[in-house]
Amino acid sequence: MNEFGSLDGRLQRCLAERGISDATEPQRIAIPTILSGEHVLLVAPTGIGKTEAAMLPILQKLSEGKSEGIRCVYVTPLRALNRDLLHRLREFCDALGLRIAVRHGDTPQSERTAQSKNPPDIIITTPETLQIMFTGKNLRKHMKSVRHVVIDEIHELAEDERGAQLSVALERLADTAGEYQRIGLSATVGSIEEISGYLAGRGRKVVTLKVSAVKDMNINVESPPADKVDQKLAERLQTDAKHLACMKRCRDLVETHRSTLFFVNTRDSAEALGVRYHLWDENLSVGVHHGSLSKTVRIQMEDDFKSQKLKALICTSSLELGIDVGSADFTIQFNSPRQVTRLIQRVGRSGHRHDATSYGTIVNTSPMETAESLVISRKATIEELETFTIRENPLGVLANQLIAMTLSQPRVDKDWAFEIVTRAYPFRRLLRADFEEVLRLLSDLHMIWNDDDSFRRKTSGRKYFYDNISMIPDERTYLIREVSSRGVIGTLDESFVASYAEPYATFVARGRTWRVVEVAEEEVLVEEIMEIGATPSWVGEEIPVPYEIAQEVGAMRRLGAFDIYPADEHAKEDVRRWIEAQETFHLPTDKRLTIEQGDGVMVINCCFGSKVNETLAKLIASLLTARFGESIGVQAEPYHIVLETPRNLKANDVLRVLRETEPETLNHLMRLVLRNSSYLRWQFIHVAKKFGAVRKDADYKMLNVSRLIDVFEHTPIFEEAIAKTLWENMDVGTAANVLQRIQEGAIEVETGPISPIGNEAIGNRQALMQPRRADKTILSALKTRLMSEDIILVCMNCRTQKRGRVESLPERIKCAKCGGVVIAAIRPYAKKELSILRKGAAAEDETKALKKIYKNANLVMAHGRKAVMALVGRGVGPDTAGRILARYHIEEYEFLKDILEAEVNYARTKRFWD
């Protein structure tokens, strides 16, 4: 049967002109169902025609009847998807005489005005812009004609607060337009019932259509051996032999394929790899793509990749979604993707045709990464996917939506508002008492007028709404601007700028290294240089490892069964040797937890995943801190917890916590622990902003967060901050189950000295646990960097200047012109210092200038302290503070240490001091 045969002849001609004669599987199963008017959730891999499967039958329906107003709303999570959709659908719409338009934050005002006066039949938008559309009188009238809503990449939206916000908007739209057909398009996920419930809301039935994601997918796992021959290249690229071996293997894979998507898990990893490839070979056609690069740079990278100017694009989850990047024929995943669904989505981006096999390889830098990749690959091949649940009753979103309602009507009936909100899936179990409590708080905060049976808009509420349309947490960002071209390269988070971006500092962006010329109020001015700089950090980077993945890695250690995993023999042998190296120690597995004690450090090896280990880490550190009266540094990872311990703390003290903590009290204990944690402080400020209790542009460093928490402790703001922190960072339910199994003996606990696996855990945290004295590697790297520094030598006698490198200087330096030996060494870009040494400067001017430099030195010292204190709220400890002070040439480390320790004490349970 030809499903296209039921479509309008004009649509069939458009398809034929594109060379499309046969429907893909999603189109075969979806087109008849959507034409019948059912609500549909279509779950299928990226790149096999989901968009056409949804829109062809909708276009058919729209062409059969004419009416005024917006008749179809297409919602996407990304503006970049909007561009692609407009391009893909415009030809179909033109053939049928339908009008289609995009509306989002970048849409020009003239175009918005035109849409308001003469609305398109189909509008493509984002969840945030849909919120704004309710506030316009004309747009609200046009939306009364809506008969179809399509939500693209619905799995991306449903899991977070943007999705909760959208779900209420969908119910408001149903109240405005009447019931309309709902279509959800989702990539392969493990919780289809949750997504279906989210799409339906209360009282509707959704038909779920699913297409397998892995029947034409080929995945391999590799762990390339290190080659000592490349040691010199490894030193030049400031990496180790194993990482270089992985980079070489990835380069080989790129060069043997036409177009390769090169996935990494974080933006800093993308930048670190990008800059090393370009330093290795400037002619290597590899680009970098992630969300913190400017829109212009991202579009350029996408276009260059589609046109095959770039053979590979190093990217993050920014390219997991359905953005059109052309015909990629291969996917590389650098180290474990952490989750099965991510691997399927990423590998599915290659072979981007419905009849093509998708090929992908995971290249790993360590046995731990390899073991995790083996597990994820096996699960992917049989579609054993992670499950998730949608968070219920996010009160910050509720506050946002109640204020939003006041902007579209003069008086909002409370019963009507409660009915609308509770029809949305995330709020289906919302209690009326919690609803009323949020209204009372908003009234106290002067966001609304709260009457007996209704609530009304206040002027401050309107400003709040437009400041808080987005539910994404706010962190101030700085533009990165190239000083000569004035072009914008990307953005940096405030935390990175505050701690690192000073003049002459270097960092990596867009796979290139940049030197800071100036830090302005809203931007960082930079120039490009040819060396390796620091890799920026960005908020919300790490992908959590699920409990089920970590447990199977533990089971692999215990059973030693490798035949069921898709990998080359070297990768399997790598993991086998890694496990054998542990044979004289207790091996941590899915059924065994080990506690290993060293000098001032303790490692708990536990295969429970990111969120469970985070929960246990907070529990252990807080109870032991209370018992011993000393702070305990803690860092949790998916397979271990590392504690920086007082010398009188023993392994049995940790064991006692695990065996004596009653599992049913864990939720209450974690609420108490979070009360004074840095986790809660950051989350509390975000939630307070979303309620309007704190201005959006308020500076975190200037707020007395402890005082704010005291004031709002018994309000929905505090409850929401606690609930959100527990939801996003921890898994109290599973952790309680783990405690129960430990106490019942189902999970055995062994103690002993630090093992090879324990040493890996400590080594992985080198950035957080610095040696007391610099070791040979550190000194060697420092020497190499110092010797390659450029300097200007200025003779203090005749003022002659000479530029050169430190490594080229003779043992005894003297002026080549006058023979003078009093020589000043100045950084090349230190223009102020050079100006006071220029030839012919009057003595009195020179004296004044030198006094100015002395004064500036004191200012630098003050700024150094300011920078340190600015980092206090982010958990920076005394050792890191010392390094920052050293960078500012400030010596009185001990003077500030007591102050710093007092200020940062609350953050010690969050992480180790660097």
Partners of 526 in the beta sheet? 482, 516
Average pLDDT, the chain: 81
Q: Do residues 328 and 261 make contact, with C-beta atoms less than 8 angstroms apart? A: yes
Q: Which two tokens stand for residue 743?
A: 């106490």
Enclosing H/E stretch for 183: strand 181-186
* pLDDT at residue 293 in the model: 73
Q: Do residues 846 and 836 make contact, with C-beta atoms less than 8 angstroms apart? A: yes
- How many other C-beta atoms lie within 10 A of the C-beta of residue 785? 13
Mean pLDDT of 80-88: 78
Rounded Cα–Cα distance for residues 654 and 642 (Å)? 12
* pLDDT at residue 363 in the model: 94
Per residue in 449-489, pLDDT (tens digit) is 999 899 999 988 888 888 887 776 655 677 788 877 777 77
Q: 779: buried, middle or exposed (CB in 10 Å: 19+, 13-18, 0-12)?
A: exposed
State how far the alpha carbon of 682 is from the alpha carbons of 110, 325, 874, in Å. 39, 36, 9
| Helix/strand number for the chain, H first, E second | 36, 29
Rounded Cα–Cα distance for residues 301 and 313 (Å)? 8
Of all residues in the chain, what percent carry a pLDDT higher than 70? Answer: 80
Task: pLDDT band for 547, please (50, 70, 90 cuts).
Answer: very high
State how far the alpha carbon of 358 is from the alpha carbons of 48, 314, 322, in Å. 12, 18, 15
Per residue in 755-808, pLDDT (tens digit) is 999 998 887 543 333 333 344 444 554 566 567 677 788 887 787 888 877 777
* pLDDT at residue 65 in the model: 76
Q: Do residues 360 and 219 make contact, with C-beta atoms less than 8 angstroms apart? A: yes
Rounded Cα–Cα distance for residues 278 and 310 (Å)? 13
Picking from 679, 720, 853, the residue whose alpha carbon sits closest to that of residue 442 is 720
The secondary structure of the chain in percent helix, strand, coil, rounded to multiples of 5, reads 50, 15, 35
Rounded Cα–Cα distance for residues 738 and 747 (Å)? 8
* pLDDT at residue 576 in the model: 92
DSSP per-residue letters across 320-388: TSS-------EEEEES--SSHHHHHHHHTTSS-STTS-EEEEEE-SSHHHHHHHHHHHHHHHTT-PPP-
Q: Which two tokens stand for residue 127?
A: 């969840």
Rounded Cα–Cα distance for residues 247 and 535 (Å)? 17
State how far the alpha carbon of 345 is from the alpha carbons of 88, 155, 214, in Å. 21, 12, 10
Rounded Cα–Cα distance for residues 348 and 321 (Å)? 10
Q: 664: buried, middle or exposed (CB in 10 Å: 19+, 13-18, 0-12)?
A: exposed
Whether 205 has a pLDDT exceeding 90, the answer reads yes
Q: Name the least confident of 106-110, 328-332, 502-506, 673-677.
A: 502-506
Note the Cα 740 to chain centre separation in Å.
33
Q: Which residue has the higher pLDDT, 208 or 295?
A: 208
Partners of 262 in the beta sheet? 314, 332
Provide the sign of the torsion angle of the four alpha carbons 421, 426, 431, 433, taken in this order: negative
Quick check: pTM over 0.95?
no
How far apart, in Å, do the first and last CA atoms of the chain sit? 65
- How many other C-beta atoms lie within 10 A of the C-beta of residue 251? 18
Per residue in 598-637, pLDDT (tens digit) is 888 899 999 999 999 999 999 998 888 888 777 787 889 9
Picking from 741, 682, 737, the residue whose alpha carbon sits closest to that of residue 872 is 682
Whether 149 has a pLDDT exceeding 80, the answer reads yes
* pLDDT at residue 24 in the model: 85
Task: pLDDT band for 860, please (50, 70, 90 cuts).
Answer: very low
Sheet of 801-805: strands edge to edge?
801-805, 790-795, 823-826
Rounded Cα–Cα distance for residues 594 and 597 (Å)? 10
Coil/strand/helix, residue 593: strand
AA letter at 142: H
Whether 125 has a pLDDT exceeding 80, the answer reads yes
φ, ψ for residue 212 (rounded to 5)? Answer: -60, 140
Rounded Cα–Cα distance for residues 599 and 262 (Å)? 41
* pLDDT at residue 419 in the model: 97
Q: Which residue has the higher pLDDT, 367 or 822?
A: 367
Per residue in 389-442, pLDDT (tens digit) is 999 999 999 999 999 999 988 899 999 999 999 999 999 999 999 999 999 999
Q: Do residues 125 and 82 make contact, with C-beta atoms less than 8 angstroms apart? A: yes
| Highest mean predicted confidence (pLDDT) among 326-330, 454-458, 470-474, 737-741 | 737-741
Return the beta strands (E) in 391-441 as ranges: 411-413
Picking from 240, 298, 291, the residue whose alpha carbon sits closest to that of residue 266 is 291
Coil/strand/helix, residue 527: strand
In sequence order, the 6+-apart residues with CB closer than 8 A to the CB of 709 are 675, 680, 681, 684, 718
Task: Give the orientation angle of helix 716-729 with respect to helix 705-712, to 10 degrees.
Answer: 110
List helix spans (H) across 675-704.
678-691
Task: pLDDT band for 254, please (50, 70, 90 cuts).
Answer: very high
Instruction: Provide Rg for the chain, Cα atoms.
Output: 30
